[in-house]
Amino acid sequence: MVTRGWIPMAMIVAVAFTCGVSNVHCQQPLAPALYVFGASTVDAGNNKILRNEEKVRSFPYGVDLKDPTLFARASNGLTYADFIAEHLGLPLPPPVLSFKDAESRSKVLTGMNYASSASGILNHTGLISGKYLSFSQQIDLFERTVKEDLPKQIPTDLKLHLEESIILISIAENDYVLGYFLNGTISPQLDLNSYTRLLIQSFAASIERMVDLGAKRFVVSGMPPIGCSSFFLEQNQGKCKKHVFKQCCKTDRFGNCILGLKPCKNRDKYLLFDKHHITQIYLKYIADGCFNGSGTCLPCNIAELCRK
Ligand SMILES: *[C@@H]1O[C@H](CO)[C@@H](O)[C@H](O)[C@H]1NC(C)=O
Ligand SMILES: *[C@@H]1O[C@H](CO)[C@@H](O)[C@H](O)[C@H]1NC(C)=O
Ligand SMILES: *[C@@H]1O[C@H](CO)[C@@H](O)[C@H](O)[C@H]1NC(C)=O
């Protein structure tokens, strides 16, 4: 499988980014590592590996990925977690499932991607759509990283490594899209407010688990305005005051791109790639704002979070 190529690749990216690209100065990474959790918005290939299907997220997904060793993401290019990694001066965190054994996994010290399409805050959120790593399983894998993998390479400074690392989480959309609105049978007895309270409780418990493992700096994505997605509007479920956005690729009834079909040409002019996922150019815009702008990520941006 493609997994063998990962580690050398990750190294090359690291070198290119910390020293090569700008050629102006050789920068130290702003954090020792980036650990990524969540759903398709930040999945870098775990689901593709888990479902063992060539077709998962194949063309037109990833159409603008320049590096052929990268797994296609749920967009035309990189995810916003990838852009944050670049800004931090770190290699793109590889999908945790791309490693065959503990030895190769434990060599990765600059972060890992545990995200899995279809997952949500609740364990059963993605059941409707096939295999996935639930948020709780993602944290199990992080626990393995912290307790088994990292200590092999960072025997003494592990506490500091974890405290200074960035934990990026992008989750919850599927709890509404898949778990609540599409499949009300999962939580039929709850009204929306009670369901949201359940999500918050469960999310808080997950964060506490990560804090207990030593994590300290969290970046958590908010909910996008899913009522404005053409997916929900077409089902008369969405309410949207302002814009309705058209997507770049031709989509199936679930709002995913129909695989194999050519996407739109001027992708940088579209906000949405399929009916749920944003194009690379807007993901970069969000990542830039969150990294060192004001007002995108609150109460402070990631550059400030790194200095705390
Ligand atoms: C999710 O599953 C894990 C075990 O896989 C369990 O420990 C945890 O309590 C579950 N969480 C919820 C909210 O059911
Ligand atoms: C909704 O979720 C339940 C529980 O996972 C599953 O058995 C059922 O098939 C789903 N319904 C639809 C319409 O997919
Ligand atoms: C924000 O970061 C980008 C990329 O690292 C950099 O080019 C830009 O100058 C930074 N802007 C500010 C205001 O620091």
- Band the pLDDT of 12: cuts 50, 70, 90: very low
Q: How far is the CA of 87 from the centre of ligand 3 (A)?
A: 9
Ligand nearest to the CA of 136: 1
From 123, 127, 189, give the residue whose CB has the most ligand 2 atoms within 8 Å, as the site to mutate: 127
Q: Which atom of ligand 3 is nearest to the CA of 87?
A: 5
Q: How far is the CA of 103 from the centre of ligand 3 (A)?
A: 36
- Band the pLDDT of 77: cuts 50, 70, 90: very high
**What average pLDDT does the chain have?**
86
Phi-psi region of 67 (alpha: psi -120 to 50; beta: other; left: phi over 0): beta
The answer to whether residue 37 scores a pLDDT higher than 60 is yes
Q: Which atom of ligand 2 is nearest to the CA of 127?
A: 5
* pLDDT tens, residue by residue, 143-184: 999 999 999 999 889 999 999 999 999 999 999 888 887 766
pLDDT at 228: 72
- Which tokens go with 95? 């999908």
Assess whether the C-beta atom of 202 lies below 6 angstroms from ligand 1: yes
**Helix/strand/coil for 22:** coil
Atom 11 of ligand 3, nearest CA residue: 292
Q: How many Å is the maximal CA-CA distance in the chain?
A: 59
Percentage of residues in the chain having pLDDT higher than 90: 69
Assess whether the C-beta atom of 198 lies below 6 angstroms from ligand 1: no
From 292, 297, 301, give the residue whose CB has the most ligand 3 atoms within 8 Å, as the site to mutate: 292
- Kindly report the pTM of this predicted structure: 0.87
Beta bridge partners of 167: 35, 218
The answer to whether residue 234 scores a pLDDT higher than 80 is no
The answer to whether residue 75 scores a pLDDT higher than 60 is yes
Mean pLDDT throughout 273-291?
Answer: 94
The answer to whether residue 284 scores a pLDDT higher than 90 is yes
Sign of CA dihedral 278, 279, 282, 288: positive
Atom 8 of ligand 1, nearest CA residue: 136
The answer to whether residue 76 scores a pLDDT higher than 80 is yes
Mean pLDDT throughout 197-216?
Answer: 97
Assess whether the C-beta atom of 123 lies below 6 angstroms from ligand 1: yes
Atom 1 of ligand 2, nearest CA residue: 183
Q: Do 84 and 113 form a contact (C-beta atoms < 8 A)?
A: no
Assess whether the C-beta atom of 127 lies below 6 angstroms from ligand 2: yes
- Band the pLDDT of 224: cuts 50, 70, 90: confident
Q: How far is the CA of 292 from the centre of ligand 3 (A)?
A: 6
Beta bridge partners of 257: 251
pLDDT at 255: 87
Q: Do 206 and 121 form a contact (C-beta atoms < 8 A)?
A: yes
Mean pLDDT throughout 271-294?
Answer: 94
pLDDT at 189: 75
Q: How far is the CA of 183 from the centre of ligand 2 (A)?
A: 6
For 13, other C-beta atoms within 10 Å of its C-beta total 22
* Closest to 111 measured CA to CA, from 132, 125, 95, 87: 95
* pLDDT tens, residue by residue, 13-30: 223 333 333 333 446 899
